[in-house]
Each structure stands twice: as structure tokens, then as C-alpha cells.
Amino acid sequence: MTAVSLAQVLIGGLQAGGIYALMGLSYYVILGATGILNFAQGEWMMLAAVFGVVLLGIGLPYPLAVTLSIAIATAVALLAERLVIRPLQARHASHGMLMLVLFAVLIVVRHLTLHAFGPAEHQLPGPLPERAIILGNGLFILPQTLVVYVAVAAVFLAVWWFMDRTWPGRSLRVAAIDPVGAQLIGIDLGRVRLIAFGLGGLIAALTGWLYGPLFAASYSIGNTLGIKGFIALIVGGVGSPLGALVGGLTLGILELGAARYASSLWSEAVSFLFLIAVLLVRPNGLVGRHGARP
């Protein structure tokens, strides 16, 4: 195990892990505030990437294509809340039922995207040139990896600031701790839910612009990342944004480390075996506290 080899694993692991962490965070803001597990998060990520390709294809400037595609994906997330979740909650649907309905939303969005834009994978350019930055001794880093690092740090800080320093953010935290008490002090849970779905959609959509340039954009990319993001949150602990961050980075580094130092044939199995072991020792996740909601 050379230092260069280890450094390369860390560069790649933090990149993959950062993306998992953001997806985990997008689950957290909804799950934490509303108790609803939204497996369609991966689809908002996919929508941003696919609309990014479309908007760049019609000649929109890069910043405008990024902004518009993220806005479209977030709007779809909000629509799902307004058109599907809100009416069902008004009829006192269980969380299990809501999860199932959101899974149906996932399938519908994926099929609509497929039929509207076709099944092909497309290249989604990043904001920086593609050429790798050579750090010496065979060590390299992609400009998009730096973009991922900066974006992950910025989003986690922004979410911390929002949850800690703003009234809507605090209402999310209060609703997460005690939904009944939150209503008693005048917090509108319907509004909390809308904010949570909007914020979760926004984070997932932004992740599409981090992931797409490293892989591809197509109707099916939400599947893997949606699952990995959820696992990241569970492994880290569902009680705080820190859980998503720690879980995501651990998962990313484990995957790449296992591929490098064990075998790529077994990397997924090895990393998930380790995660099972972690959860057996710490059932609430790496940084989760006993009794954390949900």
C-alpha cells in the first residue's frame, strides 16, 4: 500500500462519498422533518441531469441550464408533495402507504422521462475543463472532483445554517423532534412538509450536476445513487445531517478501498459486510444517537 495509491483511493472515495452524502442529506431533510421516506429522491437527481442535457442542447448558456434544470427538478418534487402526499396525508394515510405511493411516483417519473427523452445515455459537461490535474507521482484529480468537494462542503454548511439560523429551518427541526408540540406552538406541518420536499428536491437536483459529468445522464441514473444515498444516511445515522455526511464518506472510501486493496470483484460485498458489522455494533449509525427520530 503506497502513499500515492492510498491518496488516490481517498481522492476517489471522498468524491463518490460526497455524492452519496448529498443524496443522503436529501433523504434526511424529508425523513427527519416529516417521517416520510421518499425513494423518488434519485429521480429528482436524474431529472436535473437529463434536463441539463436538453437545455444545453438547445443552446442555453451553462449557468442558465444549470439553474433552470435544478428549478424544474425541484418543482417536480414540490408537485409530488402537493398533488400526491398532501391529499393522502389529509386522509391520514400511513407512512408505509406514503412510501409506496412515492415509489409509484418514482416509476412514473422514470417512464415519462424515458418516453420523452429516450433511453440513450448522454454526456453532461461539468463547469470546468475535463483534463485531469496531475499532482505528481502518478497522482491525479479531476476538476469535477474539486467541484464535488466544494459543492458538498457548501451544501452541508448552507443546510446547517438554514436549519439552525432561519425560522423555516428551525420549524423543520422542531417538527422532527416533536410534531404534536410543533403544531401547538403554531408551526404548520403542511408547510414544513412542503419546505422539506422542496429542500430535499433541491439538494438531489444539485447532485445531478455533480454526478452527471462523472458518469452520464440518462433516465436510469437515479436508481443506484438513490439506493446508495439512503444507505449512507442509515449507516451514518438518521438523526442529523452529520449522519449523512459521515455515512456517505465512509461508504465511498470503503467501496474504493475494497476495490483497490481487496478485489474489485468483491468490493461491493466487502464494503457492505463492513457496514453490516458497523450497524451491528452501532445500530443507530456511526454518529446516530439512541432514540433519534425516526
Partner 1 sequence: MGAFFTRLLGCCAALLLALTATSGKVEAEPAKGEPLLIGVHYDAAKQASYYSLGQKSVFDVFVDQLNANGGIHGRPVKLLYEDDELNPVVATTKVEKLAGENVLMIISISGSATGLAAQKKGEELKIPVGSPGNFLEPLTTVPPKHEYFRFAMRDSVGAKALIKYFRAHFKDPKIAVVRDATETGLLLSDSYIKLLKDAGFTIVATEQITPGSTDVTAQAMHVKESKADLVMLAGASVPDMANYVKTHFLVGNKTPLFGNYLLSTPPFNKLAGEGANGLIYTDMLDPARPEGQKIEATLVAALGDKAKDAPFMIGAWEFMRWVANALGRAGDAPTRDSLRDALENTKDWPTALGPAGTKVTFSPDRHDLFFGGEEVVLREIANGQYGPAIKQ
C-alpha cell recorded at residue 167: 425560522
The nearer residue to partner 1, 152 or 287, going by C-beta atoms, is 152
The nearer residue to partner 1, 205 or 225, going by C-beta atoms, is 225
Angle of helix 41-57 versus helix 3-34 axis, rounded to 10: 110
The nearer residue to partner 1, 11 or 202, going by C-beta atoms, is 11
User: Cα–Cα distances in Å, from 155 out to 19, 76, 241?
Assistant: 11, 20, 11
We find the least distance from the C-beta atom of residue 123 to partner 1, in angstroms, to be 5
Q: How far apart are CA 237 and CA 292, in angstroms?
A: 8
Residue 213 burial (10 A CB sphere; 0-12, 13-18, 19+):
buried
Report the amino acid identity of residue 256: L
The nearer residue to partner 1, 56 or 175, going by C-beta atoms, is 56
We find the least distance from the C-beta atom of residue 206 to partner 1, in angstroms, to be 15
User: What are the residues whose beta carbons fall under 8 Å from the beta carbon of 129, sequence distance 6 or more?
Assistant: 143
The nearer residue to partner 1, 46 or 233, going by C-beta atoms, is 46
The nearer residue to partner 1, 130 or 178, going by C-beta atoms, is 130
Measured from the Cβ of residue 111, the count of other Cβ atoms closer than 10 Å reads 11
We find the least distance from the C-beta atom of residue 185 to partner 1, in angstroms, to be 43
Q: How far apart are CA 166 and CA 160, in angstroms?
A: 10
Beta strands at 133-136 and 139-141: parallel, antiparallel or unpaired: antiparallel
- Provide the CA 23 distance to its chain's centre, in angstroms: 1
Q: How far apart are CA 34 and CA 27, in angstroms?
A: 11
User: What are the residues whose beta carbons fall under 8 Å from the beta carbon of 293, sequence distance 6 or more?
Assistant: 32, 35, 176, 177, 238, 239
We find the least distance from the C-beta atom of residue 49 to partner 1, in angstroms, to be 12
The site for partner 1 (CB under 8 A) is made up of: 5, 8-9, 11-13, 15-16, 19, 110-111, 114, 118-123, 130, 132, 138, 140, 142, 211, 214-216, 218, 220-221, 223-225, 255-256, 259-260, 264-265, 267-268
The nearer residue to partner 1, 117 or 162, going by C-beta atoms, is 117
We find the least distance from the C-beta atom of residue 250 to partner 1, in angstroms, to be 15
Instruction: Name the DSSP letter for residue 190.
Output: H
We find the least distance from the C-beta atom of residue 203 to partner 1, in angstroms, to be 17
We find the least distance from the C-beta atom of residue 14 to partner 1, in angstroms, to be 10
| CA angle, residues 97, 103, 108, in degrees to nearest 5 | 125
